[in-house]
Amino acid sequence: MSSSRHLGVAILMLVLIVGLGGLLLVWPSYREAGGIDLQIQELRKKGENYSLQSEEITKLTTELEALNHRIDTGLKVIPDSSDIAGLMRVLSLPVDGVHVRDQTFTAGPAREAVVGAKLAAQIQPLTVDMEARFDAVFALMRVAESMDRLLRISSVNIVCDRRQNENQPYAKASVVLEAVFEPPEEGP
């Protein structure tokens, strides 16, 4: 074998060794580093909006606190049952023959709370018929509307009865209350 051929083989071997070494040792590291750089760029892009997000979080928190405050202070509870018996217990007045001569509670069937609104909430009407002084009728209305739970008075009908005592007449009143409730959703 001539010396020039020796030289060619040697150079070829050297190139092969260096190439193989680079492929196994160098290239994977550079490739992984390149991938990591791309990841870093993506993460930094996300981080660019951080200050905007902080502002948004502050704004949302403030808004949510205001809404929660409004819910806590201005809105009443909607229970999951009408609890007509509990209502009657609260609204029942002593029939003493002086302030209250008669009081009758009549419950009606439950129906949707808002006609056509497709809400889960329902109402159960409770009609309170009374023969009493106006003060007692009015007090009953105030008690009903001051309760913690949501209760609507849908109608009031008060007729003054002067037949027995013209100076201090009694009122024949019919107050229709609507106990709002929201039955819990049935499971699957």
Partner 1 sequence: MKQRPIDLLPDTIRARSQAGVVAGRYVVAVLIGVVLLGLTATHSRLMLDLARQRLRVAEEQADIVLSAEAKAAYLRRTLRDSRYFIERYELIALPIDLSRVVATIINVLPASATLDRIDIYAGVRRNTRSSRSTGDNDADGPIPRVLTGELSGFAATDQDVAQLVADLESLGVFEQVSLDFSRTRSVRGHNAREFRISLRSSLSVRYEVADIEQPAPPAGDLERTHVE
Which residue in 1, 2, 5, 25 binds partner 1 (CB under 8 A)? 25
Round to whole Å and give the CA distance between 64 and 183.
26
**Residue 177 · residue 128 · CB < 8 Å:** yes
Q: Which is nearer to partner 1, 92 or 157 (CB)?
A: 157
Q: Mark residues 77-116: x for contact with partner 1 by CB under 8 A, - for none.
A: -x----------------------------------xxxx
**Residue 60 · residue 113 · CB < 8 Å:** no
Q: Mark residues 118-147: x for contact with partner 1 by CB under 8 A, - for none.
A: xx-x------------xx--xx-xx-xx--
Q: Could you tell me the smallest distance in angstroms from the CB atom of residue 49 to partner 1?
A: 7
Q: Report the greatest alpha carbon distance in the chain.
A: 145
The span from the first CA to the last CA of the chain, in angstroms, equals 88
Q: Could you tell me the smallest distance in angstroms from the CB atom of residue 28 to partner 1?
A: 8
22 CB-near residues (< 8 Å, 6+ apart): none
Q: Could you tell me the smallest distance in angstroms from the CB atom of residue 88 to partner 1?
A: 19
159 CB-near residues (< 8 Å, 6+ apart): 171, 172, 173
1 binds partner 1, rule: CB under 8 A: no
Round to whole Å and give the CA distance between 2 and 5.
5
Round to whole Å and give the CA distance between 81 and 79.
6
Residues engaged in binding partner 1 (CB under 8 A): 3, 6-7, 10-11, 14, 17-18, 21-22, 25-27, 29-30, 32-33, 36-37, 39-40, 43-44, 46-47, 49-50, 53-54, 56-57, 60-61, 63-64, 67-68, 70-71, 75-76, 78, 113-119, 121, 134-135, 138-139, 141-142, 144-145, 150, 152-160, 166, 180
